[in-house]
Structure 1
Amino acid sequence: MQTRIVQTDGLRQQILEAGEGSLVLLIHGFPELGISWRAQVQALAEAGYHAVAPDMRGYGGTDKPQRVEDYSILNLVGDMVDLVRALGAETCIVVGHDWGAPVAWHCALMRPDVFTAVAGLSVPFQPRRPNGPPTAAMSALARRAGLGELYMVQFQDPDHHTIFEADVAGGLRKGFYSYDGSTPSDRQSTGFIAPGENFLSEAPEDATLPPWMSEAHHAEYVAAFTAGGFRGPMDWYRNIDRNWALTAFLQGKQIRQPSMFMVGERDPVRHYAGQHEAGLKDWLTDLRNQTVLPGAGHWLQQERPDEVNAALLEFLRSL
């Protein structure tokens, strides 16, 4: 396993990679890094694949453009197309977790010639809704249910990343704890924030690192986000409405490549995205595996690496 910099057309990307064979891209989410896929990189490499986990745009050792609009879904998909080419491949299988899952789904939607199969962890495919920008709908849903505000709407504030930067170690610890499968239900986040509170103020002050995260692994995250900040990662959220405007051409489009989806039974994301799990077969026409991992939370590939590896390898063997 090695870490290196790859220069693509538009970006210097840091990647973690191992193995030779068919290319498998592993796309991380928020607030993570390519190192979140270490167990999968190793397992896939041992099984005969070229496994590559990049630090995504705005994260870790990869470039961090300054403009908010440089973090649109078109940029994120384009980065992966460029990376495939820079790695000397013409096609690949793409796997995404958390925010990486929508990127992976859109890679498959936009460039089926490049991305020949797709797997999503934690966040199901969500078809573009025709009735206006998403953040307004998110706010309306939360108000009707009396649930406060969804954190993704709060993240639209151009300065909201500073709450994480004020205490990087503490903010990361609270985030991982609040979405972990080992955290008691009454201490997990629901994703909905009470008036006057924010994502971190609602998390328990005595939050601990999840069982799967060592102090040394936590320190890797702290070092990366201390150096790079949270503005770029949060700019992904600030493009949610822009992404809706940019993807009208995808309205009603299905993913026809082989696909799989896996989610933790206790993943808080299911409070606000779980409604899309039931209809996945309508949008993923070759859905080969849809799994709910009992007792698991949000950080699937790190919480339950053996089960995730087994599912991914079974999916890859089916192609």
Structure 2
Amino acid sequence: MRIEVNGIALEVQVSGEGPAVMLVHGFPDTHACWRHQVAALNAAGYRTIAPDLRGFGASDKPEDLESYRIAAYAGDLIGILDQLGVDRVHLVGHDWGSALAQLVAIMAPGRVTDLACLSVGHRGAMLSAGWEQREKSWYMLLFQFQGVAEQWLSQHDFSNMRQMLAEHPDRDEVIERMRDPRALSAALAIYRKGVPPEWLLNDDAILPPISVPTMGVWSSGDRFLTERSMTGTEEHVTAPWRYERLDGIGHWMQLEAPGKVTDLLLDFLASADAQAG
């Protein structure tokens, strides 16, 4: 369905009945990356809400780069909940979706029952992970340069992007979407406004702690993120914390090992529902 929030139209997949679970994708995905979890969560009695973020998939792609400030994405997610009449939600995010879900939990903790962070931990943990993590994040600096990043990713039939997405099960579909230059630039905007260059070079602007029950999940085959960047998140969570490691699985864990990820989510959500009950 199309939902109007903050002056733009977002594509949002809503299905199932029961307690609400919002699933937030990252770069360079759409809501489709959650298809395995959506089916299982619906079958388990949950209502799922899976949007395409602004700039991605079938959602609007504003031309003004200022429209992609990090708070705008978080505001969209809260706006979706408002439009659907959802007071409280189980929040799940992967990659950039994890960072945005954390921001929503920090901005509106009363709206979030619990939080599951896949792959990406708290910004404070990312910084304390040291130079190993910064080396793995080299591409974030490249992505700051408009035109340069687009050319680098798309040259030679997207050979560089294909390498970055080597283990992505939907790699070919992603690249077909990105053949539209507007789609590629809109997707990269999340780096250009969400990761100011100074964030890559110093330790300022640490986010506040997360105050809702949180589970962090990291996969050992992730080429972009260190384990420390996730385990260190515990220091930035003031509520109950749970950590899970998935061995032999790459960055796109919900697609590469859907059964394992779904089982973790169902167990985590059931624990929260039991405590609430």
| TM-score tier after normalising by the smaller chain length | 0.7 to 0.9
Deviations 1:17-63 (A, max 9, x none): 32011211111111111100000111111111111211111011001
Alignment CA distance shift 1:73-1:243 (3 Å): farther
In 2, the alpha carbon distance for the partners of 1:176 and 1:311 equals 24
Instruction: Tell me which residue corresponds to 2:47.
Output: 50
Deviations 1:236-261 (A, max 9, x none): 111212896xxxxx856221111101
Alignment CA distance shift 1:65-1:169 (3 Å): same
In 2, the alpha carbon distance for the partners of 1:275 and 1:76 equals 26
Alignment CA distance shift 1:167-1:90 (3 Å): farther
Matched, 1:88 2:85: yes
Whether the 8 Å contact between 1:119 and 1:260 is mirrored in structure 2 is yes
- Aligned partner of 1:265 among 197, 202, 220: 220
- Aligned partner of 1:308 among 251, 261, 269: 261
Deviations 1:252-277 (A, max 9, x none): 62211111010111111234xx4333
Instruction: Tell me which residue corresponds to 1:186.
Output: none
Matched, 1:150 2:138: yes
Within 5 Å, which residues of 2 pair with 1:94-105? Answer: 94-105=91-102
In 1, the alpha carbon distance for the partners of 2:157 and 2:5 equals 30
In 2, the alpha carbon distance for the partners of 1:80 and 1:292 equals 27
Within 5 Å, which residues of 2 pair with 1:166-315? Answer: 166=155, 170=159, 172-177=161-166, 180=167, 212-213=169-170, 218-219=172-173, 221-227=174-180, 228-239=182-193, 240-241=195-196, 251=206, 253-271=208-226, 274-315=227-268
Alignment CA distance shift 1:100-1:149 (3 Å): closer
Deviations 1:291-311 (A, max 9, x none): 110101100100010010000
- Aligned partner of 1:163 among 152, 172, 185: 152
Whether the 8 Å contact between 2:98 and 2:117 is mirrored in structure 1 is yes
How far does residue 278 in structure 1 lie from its aligned partner after superposition?
Answer: 3.4
Alignment CA distance shift 1:37-1:169 (3 Å): farther
How far does residue 222 in structure 1 lie from its aligned partner after superposition?
Answer: 3.9
**Alignment size in residue pairs:** 265
Please tell me whether Structure 1 or Structure 2 has the larger radius of gyration of its CA atoms: 1
Whether the 8 Å contact between 1:72 and 1:242 is mirrored in structure 2 is no
Instruction: Tell me which residue corresponds to 2:124.
Output: 127
Instruction: Tell me which residue corresponds to 2:22.
Output: 25
* Aligned-pair identity (%): 30
Q: Which has the higher helix share?
A: 2
- TM-score, normalised with respect to structure 2: 0.85
Alignment CA distance shift 1:229-1:294 (3 Å): same
How far does residue 67 in structure 1 lie from its aligned partner after superposition?
Answer: 1.6
**Amino acid corresponding to residue 172 of structure 2 in structure 1:** H
In 2, the alpha carbon distance for the partners of 1:92 and 1:312 equals 14
Instruction: Tell me which residue corresponds to 1:10.
Output: 7
**Amino acid corresponding to residue 185 of structure 2 in structure 1:** R
How far does residue 124 in structure 1 lie from its aligned partner after superposition?
Answer: 1.1
**Amino acid corresponding to residue 252 of structure 2 in structure 1:** W
**Amino acid corresponding to residue 13 of structure 1 in structure 2:** L
SS in 2 for 1:285: coil
In 1, the alpha carbon distance for the partners of 2:230 and 2:51 equals 27
Q: Give 5+ residue unaligned stretches, structure 1.
A: 181-209, 245-249
What's the RMSD between the two structures over aligned residues? Answer: 3.0
